[in-house]
Structure 1
Amino acid sequence: MLRLSQKKLFNLILLTSVISFALQCEKGQETASREIELKKLDSAAKAKKDSLIQDSIQKNTVAYRAFIFPAKKKDSAMAAFNKEFSKEDQYVILALNRLDLKNKWRADTLAVPDKIDSTLMAYSPFPHQLEILKDVHKIVFFSYPIQAFAVYENGNLLKWGPTSMGSKAAQTKRGLTFANWKKELSISTVSSEWKLPYNFNIHNTLGIGWHQYDLPGYPASHSCLRLLRNDAKFLYNWADQWILNKGGATVRANGTPVIVFGDYKWGKKKPWKNLIQDPKADDISVEDLTEIIKPNLSKILEEQKRTDEVRGGITAAKAGEKVAA
């Protein structure tokens, strides 16, 4: 009897040890998981903080002054502007004021930076990094409030520039769309006299796309997204088209995602003119842009996965054809 009791006691102790060890392991796993999650949160917070700091540092290096074109002495002011600034410098200054060289006669008061950066990146109103987009290969944004576009690759700002979007009577449709087809030189459906270089459609049924055309310093298009020629050419070559199924009637995979957002303050002071008083006047914050992206992110990643699979399959098929040949 004594031996049996000792055996039972031994088994009980052994069982208790096993349970205790299992609980400690589980607790250890929970602690490890919690530590991993905390590290992820810390990393995300750091990335967000770093992006805010970088944007702040870059913006603090730029100051603006006003160059005024009085209504009664506009010709002499324009002569002074042309004398002070080279064509290259004028291009940058006018771009910051949402104008092109053709429309510089429309200028009244220009915000002029103290340093000229031909890439415009030193003046970006968009965040230079967006953690939320780290898994998104490519995306384009068009902002109505500041009449500007931005290009991101995996959360890093690649390029930005001015635009002229739909007029008050023909506003550009907001929301998420995808780049569709492109044509190096299109003819407008509104007037056959309007030539549209580097046209890239983003809404097939509505006929909306980006292309080069006049930038008059305000939203003036018939719903399309007007760009400077260099920007239109860059986007034309950079963005991806859709992939159609055989016969061309249905979409097999979408192209680059595009988000058009915000509202323009019609009749109010243009936000870029406030740069003279505040270099951050037309900035879009990390938080604001993140909130715009959030409701669209799952759709963007879903379409991206499908596109990657389709493009991968096409590449593999082509490679197979070459081997067979």
Structure 2
Amino acid sequence: MKNSVKIIALVFSCLFLSCNDKKEIKNNNKPIIERNEPKEVAYTFQKSNDWLQNEGTNSKALDIVLAINRVDETNLKKLDSILVPTDVSGDVAFYMPFPLEVVTLDEVKKVILFSYATQAFATYEYGILTYVGPTSMGKEKDKTPTGLFFTNWKAEETTSTFNDEWILKWNFNIENKLGVGFHEYELPGYPASHSCLRLLEKDAKMLYEFADQWVLQNEHEVKLKGTPVIVFGSYDFEGPKPWNALKERPEALSISEGELEKIISPYLQAILKEQAKKNNKN
């Protein structure tokens, strides 16, 4: 009987150590990111021309202001007033709506999230926020579809299916039949696309390299899907620009970890299933 107890204890001990080892390995995959946090996150409105004249040569500050106002540099100059942080010493992530970590994504190698309500996107690797930026999604008549997608094929330059005069750079398709993808194009500071997800050039290049293409079995079958992309939320097309509310409430657009968990949970098993297929292939 004593020997049986010892054996059982040994088995449980081995199982416990094995679980800890697995947890250790999983956590070792997490990227380590050094972040610069601003002393405060607060905002004011300033005249665009005045700010550009005084601060426009500060590339870090410019990146933050473009992200906050959801515009590219050309459209920033067209705006009368812009939202500006009182402290631009932090990384862009601290001025955008996504949490720095999402435990629900601990086992997910990489994923891209697009928030319709905040017109912002983020990448996570094993639950850690690794990149964030602004976007311009589908206008009211041509809304971007929401749900779980996977990156398909990509092209450094391609022609829009809506208008053959529109050249799309760093394009990555996520919905082949509908022709929806993310790519570099004009960001005017509101949802303006014909269902695609517009990005600043530097962000489009980053996602172009970050995401994986699909692997085809043949012309009609997908063998392995690409990187998961979750598009969620809705935009109030009749209301004011939502980021304008940041002046009074700096946390107005913040998406909590709990909110993201509810959004991600219905898709998590499908994401992990596709990830396992790729892991087995490797």
TM-score with structure 2 length normalisation?
A: 0.84
Once the two structures are TM-superposed, the CA of residue 92 in structure 1 deviates from its matched residue by 2.3
CA distance in 2, matches of 1:159, 1:61: 21
Aligned partner of 1:83 in structure 2 is 53
Identify if the C-alpha distance between structure 1 residues 305 and 29 changes in structure 2 by more than 3 Å, giving closer, same or farther: closer
Aligned partner of 1:263 in structure 2 is 234
CA distance in 2, matches of 1:255, 1:146: 25
1:143 aligns with 2:115: yes
Give the gaps of 5 or more residues in structure 2: 28-34
Amino acid at match of 1:107: L
Amino acid at match of 1:98: R
Q: CA RMSD in A?
A: 3.0
CA distance in 1, matches of 2:216, 2:231: 24
CA distance in 2, matches of 1:210, 1:114: 31
Aligned partner of 2:71 in structure 1 is 99
Identify if the C-alpha distance between structure 1 residues 126 and 187 changes in structure 2 by more than 3 Å, giving closer, same or farther: same
Amino acid at match of 1:62: E
- Which aligned pairs between 1:88-127 and structure 2 lie closer than 5 A? 88=59, 89-116=61-88, 119-127=91-99
Larger Rg: 1
CA distance in 2, matches of 1:78, 1:26: 71
Kept in 1, the 8 Å contact 2:187–2:200? The answer is yes
**2:40 partner SS:** coil
Kept in 2, the 8 Å contact 1:66–1:109? The answer is no
TM-score with structure 1 length normalisation?
A: 0.74
Once the two structures are TM-superposed, the CA of residue 81 in structure 1 deviates from its matched residue by 2.4
Out of 178, 181, 191, the residue aligned to residue 163 of structure 2 is 191
Out of 199, 202, 214, the residue aligned to residue 227 of structure 1 is 199
Once the two structures are TM-superposed, the CA of residue 267 in structure 1 deviates from its matched residue by 1.5
**1:306 partner SS:** helix
Which has the larger helix fraction? 1
Aligned partner of 1:308 in structure 2 is 279
1:254 aligns with 2:232: no
Aligned partner of 1:66 in structure 2 is 44
Out of 162, 171, 185, the residue aligned to residue 213 of structure 1 is 185
CA distance in 2, matches of 1:226, 1:117: 27
Kept in 2, the 8 Å contact 1:140–1:152? The answer is yes
1:131 aligns with 2:109: no
Amino acid at match of 2:56: S
Once the two structures are TM-superposed, the CA of residue 195 in structure 1 deviates from its matched residue by 1.2
Kept in 2, the 8 Å contact 1:139–1:153? The answer is yes
Once the two structures are TM-superposed, the CA of residue 112 in structure 1 deviates from its matched residue by 0.8
Q: Summarize deviations over 1:272-315 as a string: whole Å, max 9, x none.
A: 112112221111000000011111110000011112223x1xxx
CA distance in 1, matches of 2:223, 2:151: 13
CA distance in 2, matches of 1:256, 1:191: 27
